[in-house]
Amino acid sequence: MMKKIVLMLFAVLFSFSSCSSDDDPALVGKGEIMEISAENATLDNSKGEATLYIDVPAAESTFSLKVTNYDDWWIHSFSVKELSSNSYVLVPKIDNKKVSYKDWFNAMVASNQLKCTISENISSVPRTIKMEMTVGDVFETIYIVQAAPSK
């Protein structure tokens, strides 16, 4: 009788340890890097390993990015390159699906698509944004570089 109780306790403990919210397939997805396509922008991954770059003109731009192999991803972090220090400064997010910076950058996630609008660059230097997207334990870094106006 005691042996049965001990075996049942082990069975119950094992069943609890094998189920975890970390294993939620909606969060973990397929365990692959994010597959991202762009509309009105060109993704460039030749400048760094596992990093995407988008170059946009100095004029006002609107583009969108779509994650094709994951549902319910979000913006993990958002930062802007400071020219004086050549480093990135973290910008507080509105929430995980929407970010904006001053009056020149807005982005919002709807479904699997990130829609971005960048105002005209009237400064004399390029502007750079670093955005990290995530789903579960999968991350993707995207640099958005807006050109300076031509003289």
- Using alpha carbons only, give the angle 43, 131, 86 rounded to the nearest 5 degrees: 100
pLDDT score recorded for residue 85: 83
Residues 121-149: what's their mean pLDDT?
91
Binning pLDDT at 50, 70 and 90, where does residue 45 land?
confident
Q: What global pTM score does this model have?
A: 0.74
Does residue 4 sit in helix, strand or coil?
Answer: helix
The dihedral region occupied by 136, where left means phi > 0, alpha psi between -120 and 50, and beta the remainder, is left
pLDDT higher than threshold 50 for residue 110: yes
Using only C-alpha atoms, the chain has a radius of gyration, in whole angstroms, of 21
Residue 127's Cβ-side half-sphere holds a number of Cα atoms within 13 Å equal to: 22
Does residue 97 sit in helix, strand or coil?
Answer: coil
